[in-house]
Amino acid sequence: MTATTLDPSLSQQINTKTHRHGAVVEEIEGLIRVYKDGHVERPQIVPCVMSSLASELVVTSRDIVIDKPTNIWARFYLPKYHGNLPLLVYFHGGGFCVGSAAWSCYHEFLAKLAARAGCLILSVNYRLAPENRLPAAYEDGFKALMWVKQQAICGGGNEWWSKKCNFSSIFLAGDSAGANIAHNVAIRLNSCQSMSIKPLTIKGTILIQPFFGGERRTNSEKYTVEPPRSALSLTASDTYWRLALPPGASRDHPWCNPGAKGSIQLGELGISPIMVCVAEMDILRERTLDMCAALARAGKQVECVVHKSVGHAFQVLNKSQLSQTRTLEMISHIKAFIIR
């Protein structure tokens, strides 16, 4: 999820198109506009980049098609390390409505994470809402994992990465809406016990500033003073949920609020450990901390890490010295979680 200042001239260009598609029915300024006839516009405020990387990173990156009919693809990051490496199946943020595995901010962050944490990363480019409302993104995440399983069994011309992958050390990970996807893919894996994922073994889930909500506002949602150019506001959060959830669903739908009455219990997540990263200045801070407490009460092995004085999505959207320092701290925590 992002909120980046948009060039006013681009807004004027977009405004000239309103008569063609009817009235604007939903909008997050600079990110997405949805028109009455269903037309969707997403200004490219974050550049999409090719998979190439600077040589000093010592990371190889390539794009791979996972499912051609639904246009699901992924970007691989393979660092130069000896021996087999754990694999992070990663889902980008963007409120389920915007974002891409090719966004420059994710390309830079995940290349750095692969190099410093010593892990393979599969960054999944899933279908976006509102054209593809939930559970489409969850289905794409599950399909990506099944694709990895198939590669582990029979290869398929991807030896350049598969021969370096420890398929018995798989982690589901993501930030913001991507963390929500990782969480729900983990639930689906545990509920589909009749479907074996062998030879894959899920060793843990990493949720970075997970995007959840609810009809009841938390204090941090109501009172947090957002930093300048905040990556997520309460208004934007509500809009994302209206666009992503099934039509007519409230924010107490289990995909939005896993703690709501009637939702799947957190105790049904399985036995693998969970790492949760919280940004102190994030409006979702209190909701995320409550989730960590609920996981602990359910008997889950949960590690909660709070990053001080930074806001939502700081690791991909903020270039300040403080954010860069906190990002390196986050990467160190993730590395420790993976190798323990």
pLDDT tens track for 196-235:
899 999 999 999 999 999 999 999 999 988 766 788 999 9
Query: What is the pLDDT, as a whole number, of residue 87?
Result: 98
Query: What is the pLDDT, as a whole number, of residue 111?
Result: 97
Query: What is the pLDDT, as a whole number, of residue 262?
Result: 62
Give the catalytic positions in this structure: 176
Spell out, as residue ranges, where the chain has pLDDT lower than 70: 1-19, 156, 193-194, 227-228, 262-268
**pTM for the model:** 0.93
How far is 7 from 10, CA to CA, in rounded Å? Answer: 5
Category of 71 on φ-ψ map: left (φ > 0), alpha (ψ -120 to 50) or beta: left
Category of 209 on φ-ψ map: left (φ > 0), alpha (ψ -120 to 50) or beta: left
User: Are 210 and 279 in contact, with CB atoms under 8 Å apart?
Assistant: no
What average pLDDT is seen over the chain? 91
Query: What is the pLDDT, as a whole number, of residue 340?
Result: 86
Buried b (16+ CB within 10 A) or exposed e, 239-264: bbbbbbbeeebebbbebbbbbbeeee
Query: What is the pLDDT, as a whole number, of residue 26?
Result: 97
Helices in 118-176 by DSSP H: which ranges?
Answer: 136-154, 159-162
Query: What is the pLDDT, as a whole number, of residue 271?
Result: 80
Domains annotated on the chain, with CATH: 45-339 (3.40.50.1820)
